[in-house]
Amino acid sequence: MALSVLLLISGCTAAPSAPGGQQNADPAGYLGGSSLPEPYSMPEVSLTDTSGRPYNLATTPSKPVTLLFFGYTNCPDVCPQHLVNIANALKRMPADAQSRVRVVFVTTDPARDTPERLRSWLNNFDRRFIGLSGSSDDVNAIEMKLGLPMSRMESMDHMSNGPRTPAYGVGHAAQVLAFTPDDSLRAEYPGGFTIDDWANDLPRLVKVTRRAY
């Protein structure tokens, strides 16, 4: 079954999930996110972290919960919304539980999101968040392997400061993907998921995966 897909929206405005996952579909009734009956595997692709080191999504040692999100630092809405909500939900958890969640942000705008800019931007939310970059082809390949629409540049010249400073947005899928320790994608979280929603789901994901793995 294909992973449920969010439409590419200019300025990364979130849209409802398409059929594929079902809300509250996990059999134990633990999660507010959409559980997937047939999980995807973490793609074995090497990107670069903000320190310049190679980072392989599949072979880098996992923690019980990995939250993977594609976006860019100039995103006006869903990207910062997701990250600030996750960061605040993590603060409500005990330190041990916090340490068992890994947040990985892959930029869809490598031309503007330098390692320094990406690191500085992520630090506004949580210094532990991992920032990764790669070529547009590499990022598109990961998105395709996860059943997501490929991110793409969208002209926004009407918002530029002149002909020499063209502005653009990047359309991309707006959901956060939650992986378990075996690097299997188990649930997705659409734009609009609140701090309280994350505060409910993150401890439950940690608890379930700790027991299962």
CATH number for 70: 3.40.30.10
Q: Does a structural domain hold residue 34?
A: yes
In terms of residue numbers, what domain contains 75? 25-212
**pLDDT for 114-164, tens place per residue?**
999 999 999 999 999 999 999 988 998 888 888 888 877 776 554 444 444
- Tokens found for residue 22: 């079902």
Q: Does a structural domain hold residue 176?
A: yes
State the pLDDT confidence band at 209, using cuts at 50, 70 and 90.
Answer: low
**pLDDT above 50 for 10:** no
pLDDT computed for residue 86 by the predictor: 97
Q: Does a structural domain hold residue 93?
A: yes
The answer for residues whose C-beta is within 8 angstroms of residue 127's C-beta and 6 or more apart is none
**pLDDT above 50 for 8:** no
pTM given for the model: 0.80
CA atoms within 13 A on the CB side of 160: 13
Q: Does a structural domain hold residue 107?
A: yes
Q: Does a structural domain hold residue 11?
A: no
Q: Does a structural domain hold residue 192?
A: yes
Structural domain count of the chain: 1
Q: Does a structural domain hold residue 15?
A: no
Greater confidence (158 vs 213) lies with: 213
- Pick the closest to residue 106 from 67, 76, 155 (CA basis): 67
Q: Does a structural domain hold residue 198?
A: yes
**pLDDT above 50 for 15:** no
